[in-house]
Amino acid sequence: EAGVVQSPRYKIIEKKQPVAFWCNPISGHNTLYWYRQNLGQGPELLIRYENEEAVDDSQLPKDRFSAERLKGVDSTLKIQPAELGDSAVYLCATGVNYGYTFGSGTRLTVV
């Protein structure tokens, strides 16, 4: 089992530029979460998908963040335009019932 695959691992961009993160979940995992984790903090929920439906995006800053999950499998998270405060690790997690598995994350640095 390949696990949750995220790319890229690292991304450095200038502020106001767009950026996208990609997540490939474990096969058969219907629930997919995107989290943002700042240094020294726990992961903060951004959006949750059940299959292809975004069932909870209440904490996604919709003015600049967007997400999609095509055909209920891969998901992308986009920021446009990026701000300095968006620098963080973006984590994707997927699961079936109990026990959510995280990908390795994308460390974003906005300069």
Binders of another protein in range 41-80 (CB under 8 A): 41-45, 48, 55-56
Q: Does 30 participate in binding another protein (rule CB under 8 A)? A: no
Which of 62, 12, 4 has its CA nearest to residue 33? Answer: 4
**Residue 72 or residue 81: which is nearer to another protein going by CB?**
72
Residue 84 CA: distances (Å) to CA of 71, 87, 88, 106, 110? 32, 6, 10, 16, 5
82 or 103, CB closer to another protein?
103
AA identity, residue 87: S
Q: Which stretch binds another protein (CB under 8 A): 18-26, 66-74, 79-87, 88-96?
A: 88-96
